[in-house]
Structure 1
Amino acid sequence: MFFDEELSFSLKRIIQAVLLILLIFVIGTSGYYLLGIFEGKNWRFLECAYMTAITISTVGYGEVIDISHSVFGRVFTVILILSGMGVALYSVSTITAFIVEGDLKRILERRKMINKIKLMENHYIVCGCGITGSGIVKELLLTGRDFVVIEKNIEHIEKAKKMGEFLYILGDSTEDEILLDANIKKARGLITTLPDDKDNLFVTITAKELNPDIRIISKVIEENSAPKLLRAGANSVVSPNAIGSMRMASELVRPHVVNFLDGMLRGKEKHFRIEEFTILEGSRLIGKKLGDSPIYKETDIPVLAIKKLGESEYTYNPPHNMKIEAGMVLIVLTDSNGLRKLSGFN
């Protein structure tokens, strides 16, 4: 949808340029023809067309129409040359920009991205790629998640792409069509990081209408906007200001903990994260004791906590003799490769 609009706009500019050339050509041919009638010369239509062509193109093959004694003819020719050159320059620059300078290439690349997005399932959508959004993009790239970014400002996209390649859509995430282009109906989750609470609220409402099962995380600026976002369908709201103040306090009172977490999150060789892993029906882990399961025997991934199905409390540092059940959520410390290994047990 967005791609079709962009392609249509570019084609309209090219068609407009071609029509302007044709218009100047028709005006020039008709003008010389009428001048011939006015001055009793009876110039042929083909001669008028030829005269227009060599005048606009400034080729100068020689005048087939004698206007040396016609004041009106010379004035008309000067006007035709100036307007023709202007139109020609505009037309050539428009067509050149479309073909040579990358407009066509960018349109084809975006078409390719749209086709890739259509095939995505269980992916994430990031609305906004500013300061907060670019941080989310970095995390999703590091942990190997499938995601799509929606952003209006191409400069924000280009800046974020320095961290790695990702799929994106240039557009307004508050519009239904843009969210549909991002394949929201098959998406697992959406994060909206727009700079205005009203826009985040609108994205939340729209996203929930298009996909009632999607998990939505919203940025919130004003504290009193949080309940509204939750009522609108957001599963959770996050205040960057609140997180920032908590980080500063932690740096003051527990610096070693902060350094440990920073090292875990920003490691150059491995990117460890505290991840969640759900035990599905039919998993070969069901019925096994945690200590005897492939989790420890084959991967040696530490399980930090377990939440049983239907319970709200977590069992921290679970004992090795705890039996694994369907629906359990395991909180583990691992990297993206380890998480893929765990998924193989399901």
Structure 2
Amino acid sequence: MPSRIPPRLLVPAIALVVIVVGASAWYAWVEEFGAFDGFYMAVITLTTVGYEEVHPLDRGGRLFTILYTGTGIGLLFYTVGAIVEEVVAGSIAEALGVRGRSRRAGRMRNHVVVCGLGRVGREVVRQLQEQDEQVLVIDSTEERLEVAREMGVAYLMGDATDQRQLERANLEHARALVAAVHTAADNTFIVLTARALNPDLTITTRATSDAAAVRLEAAGADHVISPYRIAGERMAEAVLGR
């Protein structure tokens, strides 16, 4: 999901572009270097590469170059420094955010663990949040964890079929688990593992076929929801005017 560029980066970057374009125009038309040579002169001057002048400069051109160099180099260093700082700070914040959420998961009690933050899992989280439930999400996709951060829920990054992830989710103290990953096989494995870790856990999952529903119930699921069956029932009710 794209994010906005921080103003502290955007403003100096725009100013830097304006200065380079302005210097290029000066060299191109005032000093009569031509468009390409004017731009070339502006770039090598700003980056202090040290190549010789494209064409000899008069006193006015040298004075302009001094002013341009002082202003442009300072702005260039500031912009590059701000970018580096933003990247480093973002990486540190990301790492601390993940660790912080992981520690939070270990302290949670009477919470609901949602495995998989796809379309179904996302809607489950929204509904639970409306009821002020504590929610912990497990997903291995960075984009989906970004959604979890935006929703303000605790999360663990990892494969929900990995028993270690379920243990990190403090499952023995959880109230319920929702298995909403993509495949029936993975949901079945999650149900089996979760039931072994917490026999009293309320487990809800989804099935795309009657056969899958039977397997999930045998694995220990308390509630098996069939989205297709529910959709069919609702559509039939709409047709019948109920």
Q: TM-score range, shorter-chain basis?
A: 0.5 to 0.7
Structure 2: which amino acid aligns with 1:99?
V
Deviation of residue 109 (structure 1)?
A: 1.1
* Pairing 1:56-135 to 2, within 5 Å after superposition: 99-100=88-89, 102-135=90-123
1:99 Cα deviation after fit: 2.6
Contact 2:137–2:148 under 8 Å retained in 1 = no
Identical amino acids, percent of aligned pairs: 31
Unaligned runs of 5+ in 2: 1-83
Residues of 1 paired with 2:241 and 2:116: CA distance?
32
| Alignment-derived partner of residue 139 in structure 1 | 127
CA deviation profile, 1:289-326 (whole Å, cap 9, x unmatched): xxxxxxxxxxxxxxxxxxxxxxxxxxxxxxxxxxxxxx
Select the residue among 204, 229, 233 that pairs with 1:217.
Answer: 204
The runs of 4+ residues in structure 1 deviating greater than 4 Å are: 95-98
Say which SS state the counterpart of residue 169 (structure 1) adopts.
strand
What per-residue deviation string (whole Å, max 9, x for no partner) do you get for residues 170-214 of structure 1?
Answer: 110000111111111110110101111100000011111111111
**Runs of 5+ consecutive residues of structure 1 not aligned to the other structure:** 1-94, 256-346
Structure 1 residue aligned with 2:181: 194
- Partner amino acid for 1:238? I
Are the equivalent residues in 2 in contact too, given 1:208–1:214 (CA < 8 A)?
yes
Classify 1:228/1:246 alpha carbon distance in 2 versus 1 (closer, same or farther; 3 Å). Answer: same
**Residue aligned with 1:234, SS:** coil
Render the CA deviation track for 1:92-116: whole Å, top value 9, x for unaligned: xxx978733x221111112211222
2:215 maps to 1:228: yes
Equivalent residue, structure 1, for 2:36: none
Kindly report the root-mean-square deviation, in angstroms, between the aligned alpha carbons of the 2 structures: 2.3
Q: Is the 8 A contact 1:219 1:237 kept in 2?
A: yes
Partner of 1:179 in structure 2? 166
Query: Offset of 1:251 from its aligned partner?
Result: 2.5
Instruction: Answer yes or no: is the 8 Å Cα contact 2:121–2:180 preserved in 1.
Output: yes
SS at match of 1:158: helix
Look up the equivalent residue of 1:121 and give its one-letter code. R
CA distance in 2, matches of 1:97, 1:217: 42
Decide which structure has greater helix share: 2
Cross-structure match for 2:192: 205
Aligned to 1:172, the other structure's residue is in SS state: coil
1:124-160 Cα distance to aligned partner (Å, 9 max, x none): 1000010111110110111110110111112123345
SS class of match (1:217): strand
What is the DSSP-based 3-state SS (H/G/I as helix, E as strand, rest coil) of the residue aligned with 2:127? helix
The C-alpha deviation readout for 1:230-265, integer Å capped at 9, x for no partner, is 11111111111111111222233346xxxxxxxxxx
Going from structure 1 to structure 2, the CA distance change for 1:245 and 1:232 (only over 3 Å counts) comes to same
Q: Kindly tell me: are residues 249 and 153 of structure 1, through their superposed partners in 2, closer, same or farther at Cα, counting changes over 3 Å?
A: same
Which among 139, 145, 162 is matched to residue 151 of structure 1? Answer: 139
C-alpha contact 2:115 2:181 (8 A) present in aligned 1? yes
Work out whether residues 127 and 150 of structure 1, in 8 Å CA contact, stay in contact via their aligned partners in 2: yes
Aligned to 1:20: none
The structure that has the greater radius of gyration is: 1
Task: Tell me how far apart the structure 2 counterparts of residues 153 and 227 of structure 1 sit (CA, whole Å).
Answer: 29
> Which amino acid in structure 2 is aligned with residue 144 of structure 1?
D
Contact 1:150 1:173 in 2 (8 A): yes
Q: Distance in 2 between matches of 1:180 and 1:188?
A: 14
| Cα distance change on mapping 1:161 and 1:117 into 2, 3 Å | closer
Contact 2:115 2:138 in 1 (8 A): yes
- Write the distance in 1 (CA, Å) between the matches of 2:199 and 2:87: 41
Q: Which one has more relative contact order, counting CA pairs under 8 Å at least 6 apart?
A: 2
